[in-house]
């Protein structure tokens, strides 16, 4: 992950996003958020759960979650 990809705290912002397996959108905050970078070879056990502006912002592998935002 690239630390502070979305900017410093002063660049923080909110967005409404859709997350897989949920019926309603979520309001989330990007505060000094990291960028989730794609791996050279995609692991079939990793699922993308959410995107924002075409970028991956939430992943799941088994019981583990990774996100670039706060709920």
* Cα–Cα dist 25/42, whole Å: 26
Residue scoring higher pLDDT (30 or 22):
22
- If you average pLDDT over residues 44-62, what whole number do you get? 89
Q: What are phi and psi of 26, to 5 degrees?
A: -115, 140
Residue 47: partners with Cβ closer than 8 Å, 6 or more residues away: 20, 59, 60, 61
- Report residue 24's pLDDT band, with 50, 70 and 90 as the boundaries: very high
What is the average pLDDT score of the chain?
84
What's the pTM? 0.79
**CA-atom Rg of the chain in angstroms:** 12
Is residue 3 pLDDT above 80, yes or no?
A: no
């Amino acid at each position: 992950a690239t630390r502070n990809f979305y900017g410093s705290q002063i660049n923080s912002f909110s967005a409404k996003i859709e997350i897989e397996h949920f019926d309603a959108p979520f309001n989330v905050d990007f505060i000094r958020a990291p960028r989730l970078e794609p791996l050279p070879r995609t692991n079939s056990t990793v699922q993308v759960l959410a995107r924002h502006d075409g970028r991956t912002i939430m992943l799941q592998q088994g019981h583990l979650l990774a996100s670039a935002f706060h709920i």
